[in-house]
Amino acid sequence: SCDLHARGGNTPVSELEFAARNVDAPLVAVTGTNGKTTVTSLIASMLQTSGLRTIAAGNIGTALSDVAGGRWDAIAVEASSFQLRFIDEFHPNVAVVLNLAPDHLDWHVSLAAYGQAKARIFENQTEKDVLIYDGDDEGATRLVEPALARKIALSHRDDFTYGALSIPSEQIPVRDAAFITDLKAAAVAALEMGASLEAVQTTVRSFRPAAHRRTLVGTWQGVRWVDDSKATNPHAAVASIRAFPSVVLIAGGRSKGLDLSSVVGVESIRHLVLIGEATSELAEAAGDTPWTAASTMEEAVATADAVSESGDAVLLAPACASFDMFSSYVARGDAFVKAVRDLKERR
C-alpha cells in the first residue's frame, strides 16, 4: 500500500516513510524488480530462527505502520518502487537491491524514473551502513554506483560463502540462478543484521520457493508443468524460461507498458500459447516461433498439452499483469494448476 500522508504543506510521504519515523528497531530493506518477497521472508526467517524478535513488513502484506510500535530486535521491510518514491528520511541499516529491469512503466513513465525510485532505498545510508546487490545484474550494478554505504556484490556463480558461512552446493536445494542469488542476498543481509550461522544454514537448506514462483505442478509423460504466475514482467519471465532447455510457454495478460519482445525471443521456446490483452503484441514479436491464441486458461493448458513433447517444460510465465482476466497473479496461478490437474485426471 502506498497511502500518502500530507506533511507540512503539500509534500506527500509514503506510508513506509511515515511508519519508519516511529520505529526504533534496526531495519533491513529489500527492493528490486523481482525476488523482493522471497528475500524479505528469508531474512525474517533467518533472524527469527536466531532468536531475534523479527517481523517481515512493508509491501509483503503487513504494513510497516501496523508493527511500528512493537518491541522488535529487527524488522525486514519489502520496499516497492511506489513506496520508495515518496520517502525523505527512510534509512535502513542494511539495504538489498536485487535487480533492476523495466516494470510498472504504466505508472513510472520511464526506466530512469523507476530506477530513481528504487535508488532512494540507499540515499540516506552512510559509510556505516551496508548495501547488498546482485553483481550479475547490470541495472542493479549501475544503480548502486553513487551509494555511500559499504557495498557487497553477489554472484550466483560464486561459492556460497560469506565470512564464516560456507554451504556446499549439494546442500543448496535449488539450481536456479535467480533463487541462488535470492538465497545469498538473504544470507548476507541476515548475517549483517545479527543472525547466527546455524540459523542461516538451516534456512538455506530447507528453502522451498513459494507458490506460483517457478513451482513444479507435476511431470507427466516426460513433460514438466511449471507455474510461475508471479513472473509479471519480462525480466522475470526471461529468467524463468532460461531455466529450461525446451519450453512451451503460456504468456500474456496486461502488459504494463513494457516491451515484451525479449520474452518471445528466448531460443529455448518451441511454441507459444498466448492469453489476454497482450496476445497480438506477443504474436507480432514471435517471428518464426509458432504460436496459438487461447481465450481461457483451460484452453491454454489443453493447447500446451497438445503441442508439448517429452523433454519439454510447459511454463506459465506470463510476463504481464493478470488483471485483464484474473483478480491477481495468485488466482491466475491457481487456475493454471487446476486446469493442469483436471487435464491429468481425465487421462
pLDDT band with cut points at 50, 70 and 90 for residue 102: low
What is residue 6's predicted lDDT score, i.e. its pLDDT?
A: 46
- Could you give the CA distance from residue 27 to residue 129 in angstroms, rounded to a whole number? 11
Is residue 112 pLDDT above 90, yes or no? no
What is residue 1's predicted lDDT score, i.e. its pLDDT?
A: 39
What is residue 106's predicted lDDT score, i.e. its pLDDT?
A: 53
Is residue 309 pLDDT above 90, yes or no? yes
- Could you give the CA distance from residue 205 to residue 168 in angstroms, rounded to a whole number? 10
- Could you give the CA distance from residue 6 to residue 142 in angstroms, rounded to a whole number? 33
Q: What is the pLDDT of residues 213-238, one digit of tens each?
A: 999 999 999 999 999 999 999 999 99
Domains of the chain, each with CATH number or no CATH: 5-205 (3.40.1190.10), 215-345 (3.90.190.20)
**Mean pLDDT (whole number) for 279-293:** 97
What is residue 225's predicted lDDT score, i.e. its pLDDT?
A: 98
**Mean pLDDT (whole number) for 267-285:** 98
Q: What is the DSSP letter of 45?
A: H
Cell of 64: 510497516
**Mean pLDDT (whole number) for 290-303:** 99
Could you tell me if 244 and 316 are in contact, meaning their C-beta atoms sit under 8 angstroms apart?
no
pLDDT band with cut points at 50, 70 and 90 for residue 5: very low
Is residue 2 pLDDT above 90, yes or no? no
- Could you give the CA distance from residue 178 to residue 8 in angstroms, rounded to a whole number? 42
Is residue 292 pLDDT above 50, yes or no? yes
What is residue 104's predicted lDDT score, i.e. its pLDDT?
A: 47
Place of cell 497480438: 280
User: Helix (H, G, I), strand (E, B), or coil: what is residue 86?
Assistant: coil
**Mean pLDDT (whole number) for 318-341:** 98
pLDDT band with cut points at 50, 70 and 90 for residue 347: confident
Q: Mean pLDDT for the chain?
A: 92
pLDDT band with cut points at 50, 70 and 90 for residue 7: very low
Percent of the chain residues past pLDDT 90, beyond the cut: 80
- Could you give the CA distance from residue 79 to residue 73 in angstroms, rounded to a whole number? 19
What is residue 114's predicted lDDT score, i.e. its pLDDT?
A: 78
Q: What is the pLDDT of residues 52-93, one digit of tens each?
A: 999 999 989 899 999 998 999 999 999 998 899 889 999 999
Q: What is the pLDDT of residues 159-216, one digit of tens each?
A: 999 999 999 989 999 888 889 999 999 999 999 999 999 999 999 999 998 899 999 9
Is residue 308 pLDDT above 70, yes or no? yes
